[in-house]
Amino acid sequence: MTALNETHDPLAQSWVASANAPDTDFPLQNLPFGVFRRQGSAEPFRGGVAIGDQVVDLAALQALGVFEGEAAAALAAAAGPTLNPLMALGAPAASALRLALSRALRAGSPLAARLDACLLAQARAEYAVPAQIGDYTDFYTSIHHATNVGRLFRPDNPLLPNYQWVPIGYHGRCSSIGVSGQAFPRPRGQTRAPDAERPTLGPSRRLDYELELGVFIGRGNALGEPVPLDEAEDHVFGLCLFNDWSARDLQAWEYQPLGPFLSKNFASTLAPWIVTLEALAPYRVGWTRPAADPQPLAYLESPALRAAGAFDIRLEVALETAAMRARGRAPARLSLTSFRHAYWSVSQMVAHHTVNGCNLSPGDLLGSGTQSGPTPAEAGSLLELTRGGKEALSLPDGETRIFLDDGDTVILRGWCEREGYRRIGFGECRGTVLPARG
């Protein structure tokens, strides 16, 4: 697991003034990776790193030829239209590039004047999905979410027998994954009313969001070669915010016997910035399992996992309705929780995914599943917050919601805070529901 180093120094300042603001998501201690171009241009997308309210253009930086060795090789891999080549080099290469960037962006750097020409204001940038996603698997790692949802359908026995033994997941559709700012039409599909003999085709009436983290795979593994738990994080490039939208009414009709289909494949939204596991090192916490629960099988268990295998990432959901936008109102917070409550860890997801010999590739995406905490205010979906649609949420100015309306924008935010270290953040993940087509 990543050790602390000079890039985590809480006293380090940047010559990019906005990176020194106490509330910025992107101080010098973060340096997340993404893919961008100048807004409204036909320029090629290229790799970038967020610093304060700016983006470092990695293609322009590479042209300067100021880095050497492993950092230069990593920079060349990160300068293209996707981050897959950088991911494939593995964690040491990304760490070398992050260290070189940290030094170059620090106050007093002799490279400041030359790098200043490589900056673009984030407000003037547009973003793409940061990697070519070959495969996408969505997990179900929050026991609080699983219990909340299970209780709606099985009040006396909400958890299925396998949940506490195996990290549950399903393979999803990657072609409809978009970047923050994604707007998509309300999905259509089959539903069947409880008193109806036949299903009908129409727009979903129970459209929901899911508060998740995305896990981008870095270095892959060969077919047939499982990744041991204590090596799993060597295969992870970083984490980002992820909203896996869900049509709950379509899901209820179609999910047996093979699970989600049209209820999940119409849209999923990623934040543009991937925060590396190295940047998250100060915010690790011990991974725990209640003593009364079944303890993991040997391949999902280790002292290192118990000591520091979880991350305290604060996760927030906010809702901006069309009426709020029209009136200039701020979005309303719906929930706040932490990834530290996840029942299964990032490393356990990777170890279990590969224990049968499944080969992961650079740029593959794992979803954490909806993240909910132990209290009602920490629920990561409207399905939970409204108790299955039975209790409407009250919003500012008298609006209410049971599920999402057309024109609603859901905003996910994430950040890490710990005394003695700089706050770092994940930016925003925004998506907007449009009226159904057809």
54-57: strand order across its sheet: 119-121, 54-57, 46-51, 33-38, 125-127
Rounded distance between C-alpha atoms, residue 229 and residue 31, angstroms:
27
3-state secondary structure of 27: coil
- Known binder of ligand: residue 154? yes
- Known binder of ligand: residue 390? no
**Is 145 labeled as catalytic in the residue annotation?**
yes
Cβ count near 131 (within 10 Å)? 25
Q: Sign of torsion, CA 146 363 207 253?
A: negative
* Strand ranges (E), 71-192: 119-121, 125-127, 136-139, 169-171, 177-179, 182-185, 188-191
- Known binder of ligand: residue 212? yes
- Known binder of ligand: residue 394? no
Write the CA distances from 49 to 101, 129, 147, 251, 357, integer angstroms. Answer: 9, 14, 38, 38, 34
Q: Which long-range CB contacts under 8 A does 386-389 form with residues at least 24 apart?
A: 387/152, 388/152, 389/206, 389/248
- Known binder of ligand: residue 254? no
Tokens 């006293």 correspond to what residue?
11
- Known binder of ligand: residue 244? yes
- Known binder of ligand: residue 138? yes
Rounded distance between C-alpha atoms, residue 59 and residue 106, angstroms:
20
From 145, 341, 352, 353, the catalytic residue: 145
- Known binder of ligand: residue 428? no
- Known binder of ligand: residue 370? yes
- Known binder of ligand: residue 255? yes
Which residues contribute to the annotated binding site for substrate? Answer: 140, 154, 251, 255, 370
Which residues contribute to the annotated binding site? Answer: 138, 140, 154, 210, 212, 244, 251, 255, 264, 268, 370
Which residues contribute to the annotated binding site for Ca(2+)? Answer: 138, 210, 212, 244
Question: Residues with catalytic annotation?
Answer: 145
